[in-house]
A and B are shown apart, each in its own frame.
Chain A
Amino acid sequence: MNREEDEQSSLAWFGKGMRGIFSLPAFILMLSFVGFCSLTAQAGIPVQQVVFMTGIVWALPAKVILVGSMMSGANLAAAFLAVSLSSVRLMPMVAALVPELRTSRTPTWLLLFLSHFIAITAWVFAMEKVPKVPRGRRAAFFAGFGITLVATNMLLVAVVYHFVADFPPIVAGCLFFLTPVYFLASIWHSARHPVVYVALLFGLAGGPLFYWLFPEFDILIAGLVGGTLAWLVERLWRQRKEVGA
């Protein structure tokens, strides 16, 4: 990192974060939100409520579950529980990103505020880009990206909602498929720690395995068991390499 870049202001880095809206991940997320619009329009949820939940919930899987609960007329406690269970995964994601974002002087309230903008896309994007940003400017960079991404998608939902007549099935299918394929490619591409490759493979195998064993808590268990096994395997491998060297 050269001196000149380090001396740029936080505002300049906020602006660089904003420009992240013109990136492949932001583009794919926007396409996913087009898909979400068609889902909510078919479910008969008014556009104001869809825009509101886009801003206030943000995580797309949580919103899909929320919409499912609203459609089936679930009570508040049941909906809260279902959305909570789907969102526990946000905790380790945020916990893994926070040490990369903060400096010793970053106030906690700022991190609490910024954490709202973390969902899978912003997490994958930040884990990839943030190490190339000078440490003191990382919070500003992430704020620029996160706030722009949420605001743009709220606007997108408000506009596109009125135009999503039924898509041709092939288009709808491809829109849905973009999300998993994008996550897969970008996690592999952006991994900077060997443990990420192992955890990715264990999680892919663990997802269906635990869905079959414990369908209610599959994602959580797959993450905890798969992630812990991956960590153990990678650690053992690392120690063996150190002994051998």
Chain B
Amino acid sequence: MTWQDGWWPYAFIAIAGWLATDIWRWLGVVAGNKLRDDSEALNWVRAVATALVAAVIAKLVLYPTGVLEQSPLWLRTGSVALGAVAFFLFGRKPAIGIATAIAGLASGLWLLGF
């Protein structure tokens, strides 16, 4: 029996996937239940959570997988910068920043012959 057959892949996904993620969510509930929503401790938790997500963002842009692995770094950072400029120039609307960054990336990829 390989991992592709029967119940084993489901058990594998349940243990290595479900348990490994939900444990942290449950611990978060336990920790969050002790925090008052105007406390300095919550401010710190908020800062750590935001910095974690920001680090994930930076890694996705700097070290992507798949097609973008072959794209130049300047194109990816340049597209994000372009999107940021549009975001701040035009009323801080997420849709404008996102559309500009994606349009920048798409035209860059096209010009580079992807």
Contact = CB atoms under 8 A, between A and B. Distances in A.
A226 B21 contact: no
Contacts of A76: 12, 15-16
Interface residues of chain B: helix, strand, loop or mixed (majority): helix
Interface residues of B, number: 76
Contacts, number: 311
Contacts of A169: 67, 109, 114
Contacts of B56: 61, 89, 120, 180, 183, 207, 219
A177 B105 contact: yes
B20 A204 contact: no
A223 B18 contact: no
A63 interface: yes
A24 B16 CA distance: 31
A41 to B, nearest CB: 13
A118 B45 CA distance: 16
Contacts of A226: 51, 54-55
A147 to B, nearest CB: 15
B82 to A, nearest CB: 10
A62 B54 CA distance: 16
Interface residues of chain A: helix, strand, loop or mixed (majority): helix
Residue among B16, B33, B56, B87 having the largest count of chain A Cβ atoms under 10 Å = B16
Interface of B: 3-4, 9-10, 12-29, 31-33, 35-37, 40, 42-68, 71, 76, 79-80, 83-84, 87, 92-95, 97-98, 101-102, 105-106, 109-110, 114
Interface of A: 24, 28, 39, 44-46, 49, 52-53, 56-59, 61-63, 66, 69-70, 73, 76, 79-81, 83-84, 87-100, 102, 108, 111-112, 115-116, 118, 120, 123, 169-170, 172-174, 176-189, 193, 195-196, 198-208, 210-211, 218-220, 222-224, 226-228, 230-231, 234-235
